[in-house]
């Protein structure tokens, strides 16, 4: 089954404690991205990757890092989480250009206290 898997689904952490949210896709997609969803703001792109070792900033990259060492994995790293990073996070992948549909993971609800 084609899918994007994120872990964990829920996470409560404290300010400053480094964390990683993993994302893996089994569709051999080249393009992967991370979004955060906040009330009244919709989905905003954090980072994206067009292929292995190729990553770039989205609209809200501050406080986040990513890496793309393998095609299937695209982890999101919060080196020093802060309360304003409390949000619902989605990883997505797609096969090619903007005219191809994206497949989303089920989301990770992060709370930073």
Partner 1 sequence: DQQVKQNSPSLSVQEGRISILNCDYTNSMFDYFLWYKKYPAEGPTFLISISSIKDKNEDGRFTVFLNKSAKHLSLHIVPSQPGDSAVYFCAASEGSSGTYKYIFGTGTRLKVLA
Helix and strand numbers, DSSP H then E, in the chain: 0, 11
- How many residues at the interface with partner 1, by CB under 8 A? 27
CA dist., res. 58 & res. 27, Å (int): 23
Contact 56, 107 (CB under 8 A): no
Residue indicated by tokens 């695209």: 74
CA dist., res. 107 & res. 90, Å (int): 5
Sole binder of partner 1 in the list 13, 72, 77, 104 (CB under 8 A): 104
Which two structure tokens, joined as six digits, stand for 39? Answer: 């009330």
How near is the Cβ of 68 to partner 1 at its closest, in Å?
A: 14
How near is the Cβ of 67 to partner 1 at its closest, in Å?
A: 19
How near is the Cβ of 15 to partner 1 at its closest, in Å?
A: 26
Sole binder of partner 1 in the list 58, 63, 67, 77 (CB under 8 A): 58
Span interacting with partner 1, options 15-23, 36-44, 68-76, 78-86, rule CB under 8 A: 36-44
């Amino acid at each position: 089954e084609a899918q994007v898997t994120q872990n964990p689904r829920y996470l409560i952490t404290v300010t400053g404690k480094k964390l990683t949210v993993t994302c893996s896709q089994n569709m051999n997609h080249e393009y992967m991205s991370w979004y955060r969803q906040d009330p009244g703001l919709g989905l905003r792109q954090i980072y994206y990757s067009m292929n292995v070792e190729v990553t770039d900033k989205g609209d809200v990259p501050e406080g986040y890092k990513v890496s793309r060492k393998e095609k299937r994995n695209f982890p999101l790293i919060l080196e020093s989480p802060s309360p304003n990073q409390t949000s619902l996070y989605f990883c997505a992948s797609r096969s090619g250009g903007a005219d191809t549909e994206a497949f989303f993971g089920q989301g990770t609800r992060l709370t930073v206290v």
